[in-house]
Amino acid sequence: MSDTKTREQTSFSSAARKELFLEYARRDGGTTATEVHRAAQQQGDTVTEEAYYNIARRLVHRGLVTTEKVDGGTRYKANTAAQNQWLEEDDLSALVNPEYPLTAITIWKEAQRQINEVSEDAWVELRERLRNVPAPKLFHEAIVSYCDDFLAQVAALADPKNYDPKALANARQEAENSRRLLLQLTKYGLGLSSEAVNLPVSVELAVASYARTRTTSYVNGERLAEELSRRIADEPFIVGVETPRSTRKLVIGAVDGSTRGGILSFLGEEGDFNVGHSPMIAVNTAVGQVNRDVQIDRRRVPAFIRLPEKPEDMQRADNRYTVMAKLFYPDMSDVQYMHSVWNAMDVIEAKAALRLLKRWDVIKAGVEIPAADIVLRDGTVSPQDRDASHYKEISTYGQIVRDMIDTNWEIGKKCREDGQTLAGVVKNAQLRVFAPIFNWYVGQLAAKRTGSRTQLEAWPLQTMNLIPDQVLLTRLLTAGRKKGDAPWDRTCVVLRPFHALTHYARTYSSSGSGPSGSFLNDYNEAREKWDDLNAEAQHFWGDLFRVENDPYVKMLENVFYGSMFVGAVPRLDNERNLPRLEFLVPASTHERDSLPWGSANSHRDRLLTAIHQNGFDVSDEHSMFEDRAKLDILPSLLIRVHDTVKHWAADLVSRVQEYVGFHLARYVKSKKIRGVKVRPFTRSELELLYAQLQQEREAQAGAPARRSAVETAGDKQEPLILEGPENPPSSES
C-alpha cells in the first residue's frame, strides 16, 4: 500500500498535472478542466476539480493554451509549438530566489540569450502589430491576467494535496516572485490604489486568507480602468513620431553632476592625518549648459553655469553640500552619511536645473541668457530620497532631504506656470512596467498562432519578465531601423504619480483625502498626541511642516513623472540600450480630478522637439562604475555637459587641494603645501583651524565676523565644522 501511495504522489506531482492538462488540450477540439480532472481521478489523483481550474488559469496566462466559449463552458486548446515551455519556465522561475543571487543572475543571463535568439523580423512584426493595440486596454487585460495567475497560485498553495514537500517550496517561491512582479508593476510602477489592485503583504498571509475567505480576486476591473485612464495615454502601445514642428529654436539646457571623494589623499598614504571615514571628503559639483554660445575675447564658447563657481563659494547659498565629510556631520550615522553624499549630489544638480529655468547672465561676455524652454538631466528627474520618514528627520540628513523636495517643488511650479519642461535621460533603467505588459501580449499572440499568422511559436513569459523594460524595448524599437529612417517610434506614455516613488505606494488608497492622506493623517495624530511627542517631532510638526502648503504634500498632490522610450537611432546591439526618457508633469494626482493628459502631452511634445533639434550622439565613457568603456546613446547636449563637468570637477578638486593645503601649511607652520606629513590634530587644534577658516571666508565675503572658538567654547555646542549646513536649502530609478 505504501509503495502505491508513493507512486501516486510521484505520478501526480504538480508538474504531472500540468503535463496531463496539456496532453488533453492538444487533442482535437481541446478539453475542459472537468474532463482533465475526471481523467486524473481515474488514474488515482485525489485533488479537487478546483486545482485543475487553477492550472487552466495559469496556462492561459502564460500563453500555453487558448480558451473557447461553448455551451458546455470553456474549452482549452494547447499551443502545440509551446508544449515544452511550461516545465522549463517552472524550473527557471523557482530558481529566482533572493537567497541565491548568483543563481538568479545565471537565469537572467539565460533570459538575455533567449532574447538574442528572436529574429529581427519577429521584432519588426511585433512592433507593427502593437501600433494597432490600444495601450490602456492592453495594460488592463495584462494586469487582470497577472492578478488571476497569482490568485491561482495562492489557491493551489492553500490545498496541501497539490504539492509534495519539495515542490511546495518551489511553488511558494514562484508565487512570491509573482507577487513581487505585481508589486513593482502596479504599486511602484503605476501607483495604483488598493481599491484597484489589493495585493497581500506576503504569500503566507495570502494563503491563510484564501483558506478562510476563498478570495475571488485581487483586482477590481472597473476601478482599475478608471485609474489607468490617468496613467496610460489613450494611444497605441507603439506610436509613430513625425518630425516635430516648431516655430522657433528651443533654448535647451542640460545638467550633469560629478562627485569626487578623498581629496585629502595628497597628504600622502603614509601621512598620519586620518579621519577614518570613506570617503573622507567628497566634493560635489554640477554644471548647467545651454545650446547657445557666447563670445569672450574673440572666442565663442558654450554658455554654462557651474556650482560652485570657485572653492571659496562652497557651502554658501546654492552651493550648500558641495563639500561633504563625515567630520562635518556628527549627527549622522555612517550609513546616513554615505547616502547623504548622493542626496547632496542630487540637490546640487536640481539647483543647477532650477538656475537654467530662469534668466541668467554671463558676466564676462556681458550677455543675458534666456530661461531654458527645457532642461535635460542626466538620470531620473525625481528626487533621489523621497520617503516621508526621512523628510521628517531633524538631523542634517533630514535637512538635505527637505532641501531636495523643496527644490523639486520649485521646479514643478516653473513647469506648471511658465510652460517649461524638466526631462531626464535614464541610461540604466531597472523598472519593469512596459516589459511585463509586452511579454504578456507576445505570449497571448503566440498562443493564438494559426498557420503563418505570426512568426512566434512560443514566448517564455516568466523568463522574459526577469528582463527590465530597457533591454526589451530597445530590441522592439530599433529592430530593422537604418540610419536616417523616419518616422521615429516611441512607446505610449506612462505616468507615475509621486506617491508611487515613496513608501506610500504599498498602502495608497484613493478614498479619503487622496495621495497626501496618509501624511496628513500623521500630522493630525501628532497634534492629538502633542504632549507625548519628543522635542524633535514637535519641532518638525509644529515649526517646519506647513500642512496643505508643505512642499512634500504639494508633490504628492500635484506631480506625475511621465516615461517613454523613443526609437530614433539605428538598430542597437547587446551592448547598447535606449535610455528611458522621463519628464515632470505638473497635474493633480487626485483620482477624481480632471485627467492630466493636457499637461502631459504638452511636455511630451516639447521633449520630442528638443531631442529632434538637439540630436543623439554616442558617449563612450558615461559610466561611473564600469571598468571598461560603455557606449551610451544620449542627446548630444548631455554628452557635452558631461565633458564640461568632468573638466570642471578635476579643476575644482585641484583648487580645493591647493586651498586646503595652503591653510594646513600655514597652521602647522610648514612651507610645504603638498605632501605635508601632519600629526593627528587634537580636538582643540581642529576647532581652532576650522573656526579661523570660517572667519577668513566670511571676511572675504564681507560678512560680519563670528566669535572665535575660544569665545564659543562655553556654549556647549557641537564641534565647529567647516561651513556646515546651518539652514540647508530644501529640494530620482
Burial (CB count <10 Å: 0-12, 13-18, 19+), residue 561: buried
pLDDT at 90: 58
Distance CA 85, CA 460 (A): 7
**How far does the chain reach from its first CA to its final CA, in angstroms?**
58
pLDDT at 261: 67
Least confident of 138-142, 152-156, 334-338, 683-687: 683-687
pLDDT mean over 255-259: 89
In a domain? residue 145: no
pLDDT at 676: 33
Q: Mean pLDDT in the chain? A: 80
Distance CA 344, CA 586 (A): 24
pLDDT mean over 373-380: 93
3-state SS class at 632? strand
Neighbouring residues of 355: CB distance < 8 A, sequence distance ≥ 6 = 288, 305, 307, 318
**Could you please report the per-residue DSSP string of 511-558?**
STTGGGHHHHHHHHHHHHTGGGS-HHHHHIIIII--GGG-HHHHHHHH
pLDDT at 157: 93
Least confident of 145-154, 499-508, 614-623, 648-657: 614-623
pLDDT class of 206 with cuts at 50, 70, 90 = very high
Amino acid identity for residue 160 in this structure: P
pLDDT mean over 342-365: 90
Q: Is the predicted pLDDT of residue 351 greater than 90, yes or no?
A: yes
pLDDT at 325: 78
pLDDT at 75: 92
Neighbouring residues of 664: CB distance < 8 A, sequence distance ≥ 6 = 267, 676, 678
Burial 425-457 (b: 16+ CB within 10 A, else e): bbbebebbbbbbbbbbbbbbbbbebeeeebebe
Predicted TM-score (pTM) of this structure? 0.83
Least confident of 98-107, 254-263, 629-638: 98-107
In a domain? residue 138: no
pLDDT mean over 267-278: 42
Q: Identify the CA nearest to 495 among candidates 231, 277, 115.
A: 231
Distance CA 347, CA 411 (A): 12
In a domain? residue 20: yes
Give the pLDDT confidence of 280-297 residue by residue, as tens digits: 677 888 999 999 888 877
Give the pLDDT confidence of 152-193 residue by residue, as tens digits: 999 999 988 888 877 888 889 889 989 999 999 999 999 999
- Counted domains in the chain: 1
pLDDT at 107: 65
The three state secondary structure string of 478-508 is: HCCCCCCCCCEEEECCEEEEHHHHCHHHCCC
Burial 279-308 (b: 16+ CB within 10 A, else e): bbbbbbbbbbbbbbebeeeeeeebbbbbbb
> Three cell numbers at 126?
511585433
pLDDT at 449: 65
pLDDT at 534: 93
Higher pLDDT, 594 or 341: 594
Q: Is the predicted pLDDT of residue 240 greater than 50, yes or no?
A: yes
pLDDT mean over 139-144: 97
Q: Is the predicted pLDDT of residue 517 greater than 70, yes or no?
A: yes
In a domain? residue 72: yes
Distance CA 200, CA 179 (A): 8
pLDDT at 102: 58
Burial (CB count <10 Å: 0-12, 13-18, 19+), residue 631: middle
Burial 64-81 (b: 16+ CB within 10 A, else e): bbbeeeeeeeebbbbbee
pLDDT class of 323 with cuts at 50, 70, 90 = confident
Provide the CATH number for the domain around residue 51: 1.10.10.10
pLDDT at 99: 62
Contact 79, 32 (CB under 8 A): no
In a domain? residue 253: no
**Could you please report the per-residue DSSP string of 660-703?**
HHHHHHHHTT-S--SS---PPPPHHHHHHHHHHHHHHHHHHTTP
pLDDT at 280: 61
In a domain? residue 10: yes
Q: Is the predicted pLDDT of residue 4 greater than 50, yes or no?
A: no
Least confident of 303-312, 347-356, 513-522: 303-312
Q: Is the predicted pLDDT of residue 662 greater than 50, yes or no?
A: yes
pLDDT at 276: 44
Distance CA 322, CA 308 (A): 7
Burial (CB count <10 Å: 0-12, 13-18, 19+), residue 36: buried
Higher pLDDT, 689 or 38: 38
pLDDT mean over 360-373: 86
CA distances from 674 to 116, 265, 650, 654, 660 (A): 54, 10, 17, 11, 10
Specify which of 164-168, 430-434, 448-452 reaches the highest per-range mean pLDDT: 430-434
pLDDT class of 57 with cuts at 50, 70, 90 = very high
Contact 12, 63 (CB under 8 A): no
pLDDT class of 116 with cuts at 50, 70, 90 = confident
In a domain? residue 258: no
**Could you please report the per-residue DSSP string of 43-64?**
TT--S-HHHHHHHHHHHHHHTS
* Percentage with pLDDT > 90 across the chain: 44
Distance CA 36, CA 39 (A): 5
Q: Is the predicted pLDDT of residue 730 greater than 70, yes or no?
A: no
Specify which of 451-460, 614-623, 632-641 reaches the highest per-range mean pLDDT: 632-641
In a domain? residue 640: no
pLDDT at 36: 93
Burial (CB count <10 Å: 0-12, 13-18, 19+), residue 272: exposed
pLDDT at 56: 92
- Residues of the domain holding 56: 1-78
Higher pLDDT, 195 or 662: 195
pLDDT mean over 95-99: 61
pLDDT at 550: 96
Neighbouring residues of 456: CB distance < 8 A, sequence distance ≥ 6 = 118, 122, 126, 442, 445, 446, 449
Least confident of 123-132, 190-199, 589-598, 714-723: 714-723
pLDDT mean over 619-632: 45
pLDDT class of 545 with cuts at 50, 70, 90 = very high
Q: Is the predicted pLDDT of residue 484 greater than 80, yes or no?
A: no
pLDDT class of 28 with cuts at 50, 70, 90 = confident
Q: Is the predicted pLDDT of residue 499 greater than 50, yes or no?
A: yes
Q: Identify the CA nearest to 554 among candidates 412, 427, 388.
A: 412
pLDDT class of 559 with cuts at 50, 70, 90 = very high
pLDDT at 7: 36
Q: Evaluate the omega torsion of the peptide bond into residue 279 and state whether it is cis, within 30 degrees of 0.
A: yes
pLDDT at 636: 82
pLDDT mean over 13-42: 89
